[in-house]
Structure 1
């Protein structure tokens, strides 16, 4: 059996905190973000965008950027909304969510833009 790597994420160290899908990986490139949005659309999930200050990522609800994009299948439109949220809130984390109507839950959630971490 292979050795499992320990990710030392601590509340006392804001730079070490991990959250959401892919948070242990480097930031996504635009091409990787596009692939994730394409996956959400292919699954028939409803995309939504949320944002929050990095210091509140764990202890507050995230702010919704507009309403979820019910039925939206245009990948470029979804990406442009995420970018607009990031530009309007450059110091916030921005999260992309895919809501699954069938299970009435989040099919996926990932931070696609990370705000600066103040230590």
Structure 2
């Protein structure tokens, strides 16, 4: 068995904080994010976009960007909405969520834009 790695994130160091499962992996490229959106669509999950200030990312609800995109299957449209949210709120973290209707929960969630973090 390989050694278990300790992630050194802590509240006192905003740059060390992790968000969602994907944040423990190396930063995703635009193409890798596109493939994740493809996966969301292929699963029949409903995409939605949320945003919040970096300092509120852990102990506040995130703001919803418009309504969830019920029935949206065009990856470019979904990515464009995420980009618009980031443009409108450049100092916020922006995350993309895939809601699983069958299980009534989030199937996936990932931060696609990170706002600037001040220590």
Superposition TM-score tier, normalisation by shorter sequence = over 0.9
Runs of at least 5 residues in structure 1 that lack an aligned partner in the other structure: none
**Per-residue CA distance 1:32-53 (angstroms, 9 max, x = gap):** 1110100000000000000000
After TM superposition, the structure 1 stretch with the greater mean CA deviation from structure 2, 40-49 or 7-16, is 7-16
SS at match of 2:41: helix
- In the TM superposition, residue 21 of structure 1 has moved relative to its aligned partner by 2.1
Runs of at least 5 residues in structure 2 that lack an aligned partner in the other structure: none
TM-score (normalizing by structure 2): 0.97
**Per-residue CA distance 1:62-96 (angstroms, 9 max, x = gap):** 00000000010011000000000011111110000
- In the TM superposition, residue 27 of structure 1 has moved relative to its aligned partner by 2.4
2:12 pairs with 1:19: no
Which position in structure 2 is the counterpart of 1:75?
Answer: 75
Which position in structure 2 is the counterpart of 1:38?
Answer: 38
Name the CA distance, whole Å, in 1 between partners of 2:19 and 2:49.
16
Kept in 2, the 8 Å contact 1:50–1:65? The answer is yes
User: Could you say what the CA RMSD is over the residues aligned between the two structures, in angstroms?
Assistant: 0.8
Which position in structure 1 is the counterpart of 2:48?
Answer: 48
TM-score (normalizing by structure 1): 0.97
Kept in 2, the 8 Å contact 1:33–1:112? The answer is yes
Which position in structure 2 is the counterpart of 1:103?
Answer: 103
Q: Aligned residue pairs: how many?
A: 119
